[in-house]
Every structure is written in structure tokens, then in C-alpha cells.
Amino acid sequence: MKDKKSLYKDAEYIYYTFINDYKNNSAKKNYKEYLDSLIDSTKYSLAEEVFIRIRIMEFINNDNYTIKSIEPLELEKRSF
């Protein structure tokens, strides 16, 4: 399992990739699916993936200037 610092950096990288593509209209359609495609689930364990998704949601929900048109993201409900 990766440490929190490297997971945080991964989340930050994915977020900024998403924002850049969003500004260039690549992510406006089906942005949730697009965000899912940026998170490589084969690279992370379920716990790591949840950690990354939570960090990305925090970035998006705290971004007051870039993407106000995106509704707050929610975690998918999964059965364990």
C-alpha cells in the first residue's frame, strides 16, 4: 500500500488533469465517467482508490473559481 503523501500527490495530479481537460471541453460530457477513466483501478487497492476519490472530491468542492458548474461528486455505493 502506498503512503498517504504519494496518494495525495496522485489525487492532485488526477484532479489537475481533469481540470485541464474540463477547461478544454474534453470532460464536460459524462464527467463522472471521465474521472473514473483517469483513476486506474488496477493500480490502486480499493482503500487507496477511495482515499484518492475523497481527495478529488475535496479539491472539486473547495474550488470556488474553476468549476462551479459541476455538482459536488459523491462516492459510488459499493457492496463489500
Give the pLDDT confidence score for residue 14 in this predicted structure. 87
Q: Are 41 and 49 in contact (CB under 8 A)?
A: yes
73's CB contacts (< 8 A; 6+ apart) are: 32, 35, 53, 56, 57, 60, 61
**The pTM is what?**
0.66
pLDDT of amino acid 80 = 44
pLDDT at 70: 53
Tens of each residue's pLDDT in the chain, 80 residues: 788 889 889 888 888 888 788 777 765 667 778 788 888 777 888 888 888 888 888 887 776 555 555 555 555 555 54
